[in-house]
Amino acid sequence: MDGGYNGDAAQGGPHKQVFFPRTLPELFTVWKRFPDAVPYAGGTDLGKGQERKYSLELPAAILSLNFLEELHHFTRTERYIELGSMVKLNDILTMGKIVPHAFTQAVARIASVELRNLATLGGNICHPVKGPDASAALIALDARYELRSAQASRWISASRFASGPSAANPQELLVRIRIPLEQWDYTRYTRFEDRSLAYASGGSMVVLARSQKNILTDLRAVFAGESVLRDKNSETALAGKRLPLDRRDAAHFIDLWKTYLSAAEGPDPFLKARIVHGIEASIRELTD
């Protein structure tokens, strides 16, 4: 493994070390020795200081993921695509139509083109602010994440990962993201800007629908921000209905969402109203 840097220690400051493991076993060996070491992907979130200024206040021990080749891989089968956690956000946008539209729309709205050249998908999913912008799309698409520790590997759904207080255990690394390749006839992505928050995003929402012979076979509506919201009850209510939707069915769906939202903890009333507005806009597009 490449050696570390401990410049500040020489000047009597905090001990700083950066490790560049080339294999996962190497990474977990270092992590065992330095349990507080922090994975470093693109560094766009880790490197930022207070109030979105770059002051480069880095953790005392860093595990660079840059030379772990398997984390940079992109593969596809007939049923899904798999992205290594170190795949850069901008690279996802150049992969073409194979990548589900809801996901590319979400990635394209993250920060700026310059930041997306550095930022990774794994860093976006794992960054500590709730509801990173890729979340709603990954949940709606039923994505799954592979988490690896020194001893084991496990898969977790994007939905569980985003809902739990801390879905990854200490010293677990996000290795791969698997996204099912399913045909969606309708996709709507909405990002809720909020200038009072870091990164100006109050969360995002994805609505997906598909039909067979004009019969709605699957509908999913997911909001991810401070909390994850999905009302499976309303989705089931519309499954099997003919498209374009009957106005009564559409109104019933919106009422179910309103009831669900009024009981949900989390978004403030203003954001709840914007979510309802997003739901209404989608359902209108599916209604005659």
Ligand X SMILES: Cc1cc2nc3c(=O)[nH]c(=O)nc-3n(C[C@H](O)[C@H](O)[C@H](O)COP(=O)(O)OP(=O)(O)OC[C@H]3O[C@@H](n4cnc5c(N)ncnc54)[C@H](O)[C@@H]3O)c2cc1C
User: Which residues form the interface with ligand X (CB under 6 A)?
Assistant: 38-46, 48, 52, 65, 85, 89, 110-111, 115, 118-120, 122-124, 126-128, 132-133, 173-174, 199, 201
Conformation bin of residue 262: beta by default, left when phi > 0, alpha when psi is -120 to 50: alpha
Per DSSP, 245 falls in state B
Q: Which is nearer to ligand X, 21 or 39 (CB)?
A: 39
Nearer to ligand X, 147 or 250 (CB): 147
With respect to ligand X, which residue has the nearer C-beta, 161 or 257?
161
Cβ at position 86, least distance to ligand X in Å: 7
Choice between 117 and 259, CB closer to ligand X: 117
Give strand pairing partners of 206.
189, 222
Give min distance, CB of 55 to ligand X, in A: 11
Cβ of residue 139: shortest distance to ligand X, in angstroms?
14
Rounded least distance, CB 115 to ligand X, Å: 6
Contact (CB, 8 A) for 60 and 14 = yes
Nearer to ligand X, 91 or 218 (CB): 91
Q: Minimum Å distance from CB 89 to ligand X?
A: 6
Q: Which residue is nearest to ligand X (CB)?
A: 123
When the beta carbons of 104 and 234 are compared against ligand X, the nearer one is 104
Which residue stretches of the chain are H helix?
A: 7-10, 24-33, 89-93, 101-108, 113-118, 121-126, 135-140, 158-163, 232-238, 247-263, 269-285
Give least dist CB 184 to ligand X, A: 22
Tell me how far apart the alpha carbons of residues 1 and 23 are, in angstroms, rounded to a whole number: 9
Of 110 and 283, nearer to ligand X (C-beta) is 110
Nearest one of 125, 224, 117, 228 to 173, comparing CA atoms: 125
Contacts by 196-201, CB closer than 8 A, 24 or more apart: 198/52, 198/129, 199/52, 199/111, 199/129, 199/133, 201/131, 201/133, 201/225
Using CA atoms, how far residue 174 sits from 6, 147, 177, in Å, is: 27, 5, 8
The three-point CA angle 121-125-129 to 5° equals 130
**Minimum distance from residue 279 beta carbon to ligand X (Å):** 22
Cα distances from 151 to residues 62, 72, 147, in angstroms, run: 21, 22, 11
Considering the complex, state which of residue 101 and residue 127 has its C-beta at the smaller distance from ligand X: 127
Residue 49 CB, shortest distance to ligand X, in Å, is 9
For residue 177, what are its two tokens? 């993201």
